[in-house]
């Protein structure tokens, strides 16, 4: 997790510097990571790759399991499969090397009567994990934006 934190923070700082000043002044640590990292690195890389995404998903699913607002809906879920599919999905959606092999979001959630409140509760559980792992606001916003685009296929009840 240190790795996720430091890589994310370093890259976030690098991107900000590039955007604001067009250069890389200030931070002269003995660290070649930032210098080698292109500003257009994928979100997948900026998040810290597969290990970091897997750690976030593990923590996120634990939050969902403890969340009495929505955990009853997961009573019969195959948690191992759910975690694996979420990792694949996030990896692919953020520009990583994975291929999502699960069902479509429509198919996965059909008949579950998921409301916007349920959806928001799940997103809150994810944000808790992203904050715990100190994912910077920029990367957090990009990831939530990508997942937010799936809402129309998941929320089917009022």
**Contact residues for ligand HEM, defined by CB under 6 A:** 70, 73-74, 77-78, 81-82, 85-86, 89, 102-103, 108-109, 112, 114, 118-119, 122, 147, 150, 154
The tokens for 60 are: 């996120």
CB of 22 to ligand HEM, least distance (A): 36
**Backbone phi and psi for residue 64, each to the nearest 5 degrees, phi listed first:** -65, -40
Closest CA to 32 of 5, 53, 14, 51: 14
Query: Residue 110 CB, nearest distance to ligand HEM (Å)?
Result: 10
127 or 150: CB nearest ligand HEM: 150
CB nearer to ligand HEM: give 6 or 54: 54
CA distance 98 to 127: 23
Point out the residue whose Cβ comes nearest to ligand HEM.
Answer: 102
Sign of the Cα torsion 114, 116, 121, 124 reads positive
In angstroms, what is the minimal distance from the CB of 14 to ligand HEM?
28
Which backbone phi and psi does 124 adopt, to 5 degrees?
Answer: -60, -40
Nearer to ligand HEM among residue 119 and residue 133 (C-beta): 119
């Amino acid at each position: 997790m240190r790795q996720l934190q430091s890589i994310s923070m370093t890259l976030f700082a690098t991107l900000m510097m590039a955007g604001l000043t067009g250069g890389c002044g200030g931070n002269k640590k003995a660290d070649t990571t930032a210098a080698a990292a292109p500003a257009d690195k994928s979100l997948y890389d900026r998040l810290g790759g597969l290990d970091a995404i897997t750690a976030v998903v593990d923590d996120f699913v634990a939050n969902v399991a403890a969340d009495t607002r929505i955990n009853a809906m997961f009573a019969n879920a195959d948690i191992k499969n759910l975690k694996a599919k979420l990792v694949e999905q996030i990896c692919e959606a953020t520009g990583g090397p994975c291929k999502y092999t699960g069902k479509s979001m429509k198919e996965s959630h059909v008949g579950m009567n998921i409301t916007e409140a349920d959806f928001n509760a799940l997103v809150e559980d994810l944000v808790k994990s992203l904050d715990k792992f100190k994912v910077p606001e920029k990367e957090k916003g990009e990831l939530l934006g990508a997942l937010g685009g799936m809402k129309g296929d998941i929320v089917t009840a009022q």
